[in-house]
Amino acid sequence: MQYIDITNSPERFEQKLAKRLGFSRFVNANDQIIIADRAGPGAKPLLIQTTNPNLIFAMIKSPKAIGILSNGEEVEQRVLNKLKENGKLVVFNAYYLTVGQRDRVSKIHRLKKLFRMAGKSKTRMGIVSLAPNQDYLLSSAQLLEIAKLITADDHQAKLMLSNIGETLHDI
Protein backbone atom coordinates (compact mmCIF):
# COMPACT_ATOMS: atom_id res chain seq x y z
CA MET A 1 0.00 0.00 0.00
CA GLN A 2 1.75 3.16 -1.10
CA TYR A 3 0.86 6.67 -0.05
CA ILE A 4 1.21 9.54 -2.51
CA ASP A 5 0.56 13.18 -1.70
CA ILE A 6 -0.41 16.01 -4.06
CA THR A 7 1.25 19.36 -3.38
CA ASN A 8 0.55 22.76 -4.90
CA SER A 9 3.87 24.57 -4.74
CA PRO A 10 5.70 26.47 -7.51
CA GLU A 11 8.66 24.09 -7.21
CA ARG A 12 8.80 20.37 -6.69
CA PHE A 13 9.75 19.09 -3.26
CA GLU A 14 12.60 16.62 -2.88
CA GLN A 15 11.60 12.98 -3.13
CA LYS A 16 13.86 12.24 -0.12
CA LEU A 17 11.58 14.49 1.91
CA ALA A 18 8.59 12.46 0.69
CA LYS A 19 10.23 9.24 1.92
CA ARG A 20 10.97 10.82 5.32
CA LEU A 21 7.35 11.87 5.66
CA GLY A 22 6.04 8.38 4.89
CA PHE A 23 5.03 8.90 1.24
CA SER A 24 6.41 7.03 -1.75
CA ARG A 25 6.54 10.36 -3.63
CA PHE A 26 4.98 13.79 -4.11
CA VAL A 27 2.96 14.77 -7.16
CA ASN A 28 2.96 18.47 -7.91
CA ALA A 29 -0.32 20.08 -8.95
CA ASN A 30 1.47 22.79 -10.92
CA ASP A 31 3.24 20.56 -13.41
CA GLN A 32 2.37 16.89 -13.08
CA ILE A 33 -1.40 17.20 -12.78
CA ILE A 34 -3.89 19.98 -13.51
CA ILE A 35 -6.48 21.41 -11.12
CA ALA A 36 -9.09 23.04 -13.31
CA ASP A 37 -12.73 23.97 -13.54
CA ARG A 38 -13.06 23.24 -17.23
CA ALA A 39 -11.66 20.77 -19.70
CA GLY A 40 -8.74 21.87 -21.78
CA PRO A 41 -6.18 20.40 -24.15
CA GLY A 42 -3.45 18.26 -22.70
CA ALA A 43 -2.81 14.75 -21.54
CA LYS A 44 -2.12 15.50 -17.87
CA PRO A 45 -4.28 13.99 -15.17
CA LEU A 46 -7.04 16.32 -14.09
CA LEU A 47 -8.50 17.21 -10.71
CA ILE A 48 -11.83 18.97 -11.17
CA GLN A 49 -12.50 22.01 -9.01
CA THR A 50 -16.00 23.23 -9.69
CA THR A 51 -19.47 22.73 -8.27
CA ASN A 52 -21.25 23.06 -11.63
CA PRO A 53 -22.72 19.60 -12.28
CA ASN A 54 -22.79 20.08 -16.08
CA LEU A 55 -19.07 20.84 -16.21
CA ILE A 56 -18.34 17.93 -13.86
CA PHE A 57 -20.38 15.49 -16.00
CA ALA A 58 -18.51 16.62 -19.11
CA MET A 59 -15.07 16.14 -17.56
CA ILE A 60 -15.65 13.08 -15.41
CA LYS A 61 -15.83 10.67 -18.34
CA SER A 62 -12.25 11.41 -19.36
CA PRO A 63 -9.82 8.65 -18.37
CA LYS A 64 -7.43 11.38 -17.23
CA ALA A 65 -9.85 12.71 -14.57
CA ILE A 66 -8.89 11.78 -11.01
CA GLY A 67 -12.01 13.15 -9.35
CA ILE A 68 -13.38 16.32 -7.84
CA LEU A 69 -11.51 18.47 -5.34
CA SER A 70 -13.62 19.54 -2.39
CA ASN A 71 -13.16 22.51 -0.08
CA GLY A 72 -16.29 21.67 1.84
CA GLU A 73 -18.71 22.84 -0.86
CA GLU A 74 -22.01 21.06 -1.20
CA VAL A 75 -21.91 18.37 -3.84
CA GLU A 76 -25.15 17.15 -5.36
CA GLN A 77 -26.16 13.54 -4.94
CA ARG A 78 -26.32 12.96 -8.72
CA VAL A 79 -22.70 14.15 -9.00
CA LEU A 80 -21.65 11.66 -6.32
CA ASN A 81 -23.54 8.90 -8.14
CA LYS A 82 -21.80 9.82 -11.41
CA LEU A 83 -18.41 9.75 -9.67
CA LYS A 84 -19.17 6.30 -8.32
CA GLU A 85 -20.25 5.03 -11.76
CA ASN A 86 -17.00 6.24 -13.32
CA GLY A 87 -14.80 5.08 -10.45
CA LYS A 88 -13.55 8.59 -9.67
CA LEU A 89 -12.70 10.11 -6.30
CA VAL A 90 -13.97 12.83 -4.03
CA VAL A 91 -10.69 14.39 -2.92
CA PHE A 92 -10.62 16.27 0.39
CA ASN A 93 -8.18 19.14 0.76
CA ALA A 94 -6.26 19.17 4.06
CA TYR A 95 -4.87 22.67 3.33
CA TYR A 96 -8.43 23.96 3.74
CA LEU A 97 -8.20 22.92 7.42
CA THR A 98 -4.57 23.77 8.18
CA VAL A 99 -4.50 27.22 6.55
CA GLY A 100 -6.07 29.11 9.46
CA GLN A 101 -7.81 28.55 12.75
CA ARG A 102 -10.81 30.71 11.94
CA ASP A 103 -14.00 28.68 11.45
CA ARG A 104 -12.05 25.43 11.55
CA VAL A 105 -14.77 23.63 13.49
CA SER A 106 -17.46 24.57 10.97
CA LYS A 107 -15.13 23.57 8.11
CA ILE A 108 -14.73 20.15 9.70
CA HIS A 109 -18.51 19.81 10.05
CA ARG A 110 -18.93 20.61 6.34
CA LEU A 111 -16.35 18.02 5.36
CA LYS A 112 -17.99 15.44 7.65
CA LYS A 113 -21.32 16.08 5.98
CA LEU A 114 -19.79 15.57 2.54
CA PHE A 115 -18.07 12.41 3.81
CA ARG A 116 -21.42 11.03 5.06
CA MET A 117 -23.13 11.76 1.72
CA ALA A 118 -20.29 10.24 -0.30
CA GLY A 119 -20.15 7.25 2.04
CA LYS A 120 -23.86 6.56 1.56
CA SER A 121 -23.48 6.53 -2.23
CA LYS A 122 -20.33 4.38 -1.85
CA THR A 123 -18.15 6.86 -3.73
CA ARG A 124 -14.40 6.44 -3.30
CA MET A 125 -12.68 9.22 -1.39
CA GLY A 126 -9.17 10.54 -0.92
CA ILE A 127 -7.30 13.21 1.02
CA VAL A 128 -4.30 15.31 0.01
CA SER A 129 -2.33 18.12 1.60
CA LEU A 130 -2.10 20.52 -1.42
CA ALA A 131 0.73 22.26 0.45
CA PRO A 132 1.79 25.54 -1.23
CA ASN A 133 5.14 25.53 0.60
CA GLN A 134 7.15 23.36 2.94
CA ASP A 135 5.52 24.82 6.07
CA TYR A 136 2.20 23.29 5.08
CA LEU A 137 3.53 19.86 4.17
CA LEU A 138 2.26 17.03 6.32
CA SER A 139 3.61 13.59 7.12
CA SER A 140 1.45 10.56 6.35
CA ALA A 141 0.74 10.17 10.08
CA GLN A 142 -0.50 13.76 10.26
CA LEU A 143 -2.64 13.38 7.14
CA LEU A 144 -4.09 10.21 8.65
CA GLU A 145 -5.07 12.07 11.83
CA ILE A 146 -6.72 14.83 9.80
CA ALA A 147 -8.59 12.18 7.81
CA LYS A 148 -9.80 10.72 11.13
CA LEU A 149 -11.28 14.10 12.04
CA ILE A 150 -13.49 13.71 8.97
CA THR A 151 -14.16 9.98 9.02
CA ALA A 152 -13.94 9.19 12.77
CA ASP A 153 -12.75 5.71 11.74
CA ASP A 154 -9.21 4.36 11.45
CA HIS A 155 -9.90 2.02 8.54
CA GLN A 156 -11.74 4.63 6.46
CA ALA A 157 -8.94 7.14 7.02
CA LYS A 158 -6.28 4.69 5.78
CA LEU A 159 -8.49 3.88 2.80
CA MET A 160 -8.64 7.58 1.89
CA LEU A 161 -4.86 7.80 1.81
CA SER A 162 -4.39 4.57 -0.12
CA ASN A 163 -7.05 5.49 -2.74
CA ILE A 164 -4.90 8.43 -3.84
CA GLY A 165 -1.86 6.15 -4.08
CA GLU A 166 -3.76 3.61 -6.20
CA THR A 167 -5.09 6.28 -8.55
CA LEU A 168 -1.80 8.11 -9.02
CA HIS A 169 0.74 5.31 -9.02
CA ASP A 170 0.92 5.31 -12.84
CA ILE A 171 1.86 9.00 -13.09
Measured CA to CA in angstroms, residue 106 lies from 29, 95, 142 at distances of: 27, 15, 20
**Which residue from 30, 24, 122, 20 is spatially nearest to 77, judged by alpha carbons?**
122
Closest approach, Cβ 46 to another protein, in A, equals 28
Question: Looking only at residues 123 through 162 of this chain, which bind another protein when binding is defined by CB under 8 A?
Answer: 134-139, 141-143, 145-146, 149
When the beta carbons of 28 and 139 are compared against another protein, the nearer one is 139
Closest approach, Cβ 82 to another protein, in A, equals 32
At residue 34, φ and ψ (nearest 5 deg) are: -115, 135
In the set 6, 56, 69, 97, which binds another protein (CB under 8 A)? 97
Long-range Cβ pairs for the range 44-53 (8 Å, 24+): 45/168, 45/171, 47/6, 47/91, 51/75, 53/78, 53/79
When the beta carbons of 4 and 79 are compared against another protein, the nearer one is 4
Q: In this structure, which amino acid lies at residue 88?
A: K
When the beta carbons of 55 and 99 are compared against another protein, the nearer one is 99
Q: Does 15 bind another protein (CB under 8 A)?
A: no
In the set 101, 102, 155, 170, which binds another protein (CB under 8 A)? 101
Radius of gyration (Cα) for the chain, nearest Å? 15
97, 104 contact by CB (below 8 A): yes
Task: Select the span of 32-40, 63-71, 78-86, 90-98 touching another protein (CB under 8 A).
Answer: 90-98
Kindly state the helix (H) or strand (E) to which residue 86 belongs, with its residue range.
Answer: helix 77-86
Question: Looking only at residues 20 through 79 of this chain, which bind another protein when binding is defined by CB under 8 A?
Answer: 20-21
When the beta carbons of 28 and 51 are compared against another protein, the nearer one is 28
User: Can you give the binding site for another protein, defined by CB under 8 A?
Assistant: 20-21, 94, 97-98, 101, 104, 134-139, 141-143, 145-146, 149
